Amino acid sequence: MRKVLTHDLREIFRRCKFRFDLQQQGVKGNIDSKTRYFRLLGKATEEAVDCKSRQEQTAVFLHHIQQLPVLEQQAARVEVDCMVTRSRELTSSTTNKTAKVKRQEQYKWVDNEPYTPSPDDREPPPLYPNPTFFTFYAKPDLVVEDWDAHGKIIRIVDEKIAERVRSKDRRNLYFFGFVASKQFAREQAQAWRRGESYEMPSIQLVVRALRSPGVLSVPEEVFWYKRAREKGSLQEYRKDIADMLEAERLGLFPASIDWDCGRCPFGKMVDGDPMTIICEAYRNQVLKQQQQAEDADTVA
């Protein structure tokens, strides 16, 4: 197992260890038309936001959208156009003219800090005091470097091709803030060792649901990253890493069956054939449900 932790890896492991193991091995699942549609929407929107001209934006549209069936292309183009417009409007309305805007900025931090209790520390030692030496990676869609009366602000923005902000989107955003904060702390320590000053920025976290209608739901949620939570968060991340390593040592990656299995690439069936489902546990459940439905029809 590579010593790498991202939010997506962590979420997949906690959701279903079987899927985590297959994706670590590079196994490709079954992708249905709906999943493919939204993946292309996401790629097209991500690239089109950075386009400087309408012609360049159109070229991006055509590159991605032409991969869709002809009947879906016009609707996809309208959706991408709307999401690009919304992204630009939200960014321009919340960003000062002097701010620096970066897209796809990557943060990383190596967990190599051992636990060192302070003399006046009355709390019990943490359950996971040892460093994991895993590298934490975070790559938000947009980073804005700004200033206000209190000092420097780093605004981390994550844009979702969704109609609403979900709890996992908020967890993802907080993970971004954690990795960025740790990177800034390390940069500050390095600057101090060189005898240089370093202004530790405040971190503002923003998540946007670009497909939101904007009437019944809020297209953007904003909150501040709290460094006071870092100790607890680090323990949570180290526990997940310990569980991953233990699962690898034992070779145990059981499937977790829930309502979302039909959307998983290893739970999807091709042409309505349940035997094409890669996950054996979910395949058996689908076959059992089909048999029960047939038995009920027979009785009726």
Rounded mean pLDDT of 178-190?
A: 95
Rounded mean pLDDT of 265-269?
A: 86
How many CA atoms does the CB half-sphere of 236 hold within 13 Å? 13
Choose among 219, 178, 181, 221: nearest CA to 201: 181
Name the pTM for this structure: 0.87
Average pLDDT value over all residues in the chain: 87
Which secondary structure element, helix H or strand E, spans residue 95, and what is its range?
none
Quote the percentage of the chain above a pLDDT of 70.
Answer: 97
**DSSP code, position 195:** T
Choose among 249, 272, 262, 274: nearest CA to 16: 262
Residue 71 has pLDDT above 70, yes or no: yes
| pLDDT on residue 19 | 92
The tens digit of pLDDT for each residue in 207-258 reads 988 887 655 555 788 999 999 899 899 999 999 999 999 999 999 999 988 8
Q: Report which residue type is found at 15.
A: R
| pLDDT on residue 67 | 84
Sequence-separated (6 or more) residues with CB below 8 Å from residue 124:
none
| pLDDT on residue 201 | 93
Measured CA distances, 290 to 194, 255, 278 (Å): 68, 20, 17
The tens digit of pLDDT for each residue in 285-297 reads 888 888 888 888 7
The tens digit of pLDDT for each residue in 110-123 reads 999 887 777 766 77
Torsions phi, psi of 200, nearest 5? -75, 120
Which secondary structure element, helix H or strand E, spans residue 135, and what is its range?
strand 135-138
Residue 45 has pLDDT above 90, yes or no: no
Sequence-separated (6 or more) residues with CB below 8 Å from residue 142:
91, 101, 102, 103, 156, 157, 158, 159
| pLDDT on residue 244 | 95
